[in-house]
Structure 1
Amino acid sequence: MRPIVAVAEAAGLDADQVRQRVKELLARDAEVAFLRRASRGQFEAAREAAPGAVYHERSGLVVLTRPRAAVAVPVVVLSAGTADLPVAEEAMAGAAAFGLDVSLIADVGVAGLHRLLAVRERLDEARLLIVAAGMDGALPSVTARLTSRPVIAVPTSVGYGSSGGGLAALAALLNSGAPGLAVTGIDDGLGAAVLARRMLA
């Protein structure tokens, strides 16, 4: 069976190692291959091995294989604040690479709950929601209470005070009583996209 995804981290790799890692990823013949947390220089090295690679600078995600044509399965990615956008972008780029029809609703954290309520119809139009939130991680739980759609929560490492690099958001989400809520690891937007692809297959 053909694997759904092949993924590698770019952190700490020099140009030669990036090229070699990309060749290894492509050799797996996965549906989609990704290189995560890449710098611009690492992307340039990756493109030598995969000329069609696409770079998403804010998140550092490199999509090594060409995205498939979008299919009519609407997925909405929400970000609580602008600081969560790198993780939201990684989730969006990953979902798009799998052919999902993905869109973004940004800056709808619960500190301004009226902004989330104003887009409630868009939540119900999606088949699945991916929600990136740091600080206290409240947005995914609130979103799961507002809609009957499955929600994948991505706790992010942004925040101040006692946020603990995303640990506060992760703990809050793991203890959430909201129905239909799944939780990834901290900053794992790509993991949320892979889970969405598997859930919607």
Structure 2
Amino acid sequence: MSRGQTPTTTSYATLGLLAVQPWSTYELTNQIRRSLARFWPRAASKLYEEPRKLVALGYATAETQHQGRRRRTVYAITPEGRRALAAWLATTGAPPALESEQLLRVFLADQGTRQDLLDTLAATRAWARERAVVDAAIAREHLGGGPFPQRLAVNTLVGRYLSDMSEATERWADWASEIVRDWPDDLSELPVDTDALQMIADRDPAGR
């Protein structure tokens, strides 16, 4: 391993794409935006840094190719890289970390106006519907074979999770909007939906 170089989760995410096939930086960019960016957006900000890091680690090779007057660098995984990827996959990953500015705005909504909150919920619903359209389009592509049919089984696992999340977010936004429409303009004293609180409490898997 190159001194000063430490593989990150994004490194392994990029390495996983190289395990499928060699890619140029441009091809990696498109593939990351099409797949990894949906659930590991940090990869998108490391598009040009990570392949070079993998080469420095000995996990990938870089080959310069010429297409007419254009030059491109194609990265491929090495045997050492495959061993490193396999070792990483044998460990357990960090738990999910939810990051949502829209949910933060809902959390702080009592400091704003009812209309502000309704607008945020509408934006959340619109996002969920947009994601559902993308999820459906990708699923239809896979039903027709897709670019990597040999990976269809694992892609379906991830796709179902993302689709369920989009559906759940839209369903929540619809419920929340219905509740907020009945709230007064003055958000200093709001009615509490005890039924919703009880439903959350009843979801305790420990059965307490």
Q: Is the pair's TM-score, using the shorter chain for normalization, greater than 0.5?
A: no
Q: Which has the higher strand share?
A: 1
TM-score, length of structure 1 as denominator length: 0.22
Q: Which has the higher helix share?
A: 2
Larger Rg: 2
TM-score, length of structure 2 as denominator length: 0.22
